[in-house]
Chains A and B, each alone.
Chain A
């Protein structure tokens, strides 16, 4: 047993981290989705990783880094759809029949992957009749369209395939969330060292230090859970996959959200400004909390793996 990152995984992590540092600076990220950068991510293999012989654990390491930089775009969907649909792909993990759908990054995507009860269907975005963009989306880096009637689309996978996509989407989203949670800890720590009040860095005050310590622990515990889920995806014999995955989603969602809020609190008034990046992490955390199932659904999925009530 070696639950540590392998040498190759460390190299992969460092490579993606360096790429994000160079390409996904705050300035670029704030401009939103960029097709050229998406192509560059595709060129480095972010979407084709598993087709290239890597596993879910490697993909999780990669998405953790993308999350640290809070990279905009339908990254998880483009990864899931690799080999099935070309180009930028967005999706809908749980359409509710008869209810309007909210789809992210529609303008960027040529295809919407819809996971319904019967399986996976691909809808071409130019086939949509009634998509209307939200004027004021919660996350400024995640444009959202409202679609009242979703066309049928081309069926490319059965219910089992759809379930596998949901699991993959869950683990990659969770990895992205833990990366965000780590980045929030680091940004808030850095700010607490630079910001001085009462003639000393605010990070020296235990009231602030303890917020940061809790953030660090939350991110690390969630990260262990996400890596365990990803390893179990690669090697389903080692644990109960549904339980591990649901647990990872619960903890990663909580870590991204609570750490973004912790970061906002440590940043004080600056955290409430548009100029600071803190709100980008918090708003993405809210958006991702409703991606591939919400917290109640994850909790119910986990509870279902425990003994039923007598």
Chain B
């Protein structure tokens, strides 16, 4: 009997849509030219890259020259934070949050070691940054604020519009890591006054190894790499053409289906949250409603997350955990610690991130198995009846 396989780890990565694969294939086969070449092979590809850029820009409410293709979210964050820091020079002050992805946090730590100062804003128990805290953290040397649009672990949405307005009033740059939001929730750069955003295609059913950064006209970034003139010298290196084509196609499909998909995911999310909270000793992490449509994060008391993940995996269900034991470090997730969870509760966390292809039947399948898994592990736990 074939075991049913259910993928609920879409915040880690998503399957590439068939239409995206189809759109990319010609650029792996017949259209292999280098877009910088002036001959026929290069010109065809240049045209395709230009069109993909124009389409991507339009979908985001940006101008084509404000879009720079990169290798993904991590590279975008690095180019933006290091690039603005280098342009600004020292002394300089950065404000970010304590729940950013490591691709922002660790860059900030690096910049701190380089002599910049950084404020890591705390968050409330739901994982939200308080705009008043941000206002108070601003100093005359603050040159950039970097706050993610939605958290990858607990899904909490941040008040980025308010933050962007505050940054604009104070003449400070604003960057938002929108990797978890792109393709899932509306992202219109005409209304959101961000100076920089980072996106990654594989989070919205596009290919891996391709992302983008948005740089609003008039802002400046010192490039990190030297090389050719690609991406207007901000990210030199021959373009990842199939990736760029795939990103644009994936974003186009995601935006076209966004409203329907969002409703579907929010329904599945509610069903899953209700089912999980019916299990004794289960706690919801993150905000009840101000969260990514597909994100569910719960902690089970008295058991450890990796053991739950492993048991789920044996049942053919893929999820993830903020437990140290599954992360390759000894510390539990910095995000779960920042929202005030004690070590044991953070260790017992499980994230289900739903996406395209998940159905009610998947939720039923999971909920039919998880209570038994939790019970079995608890019966093994010395702290359960203690």
- A and B associate in one complex: no
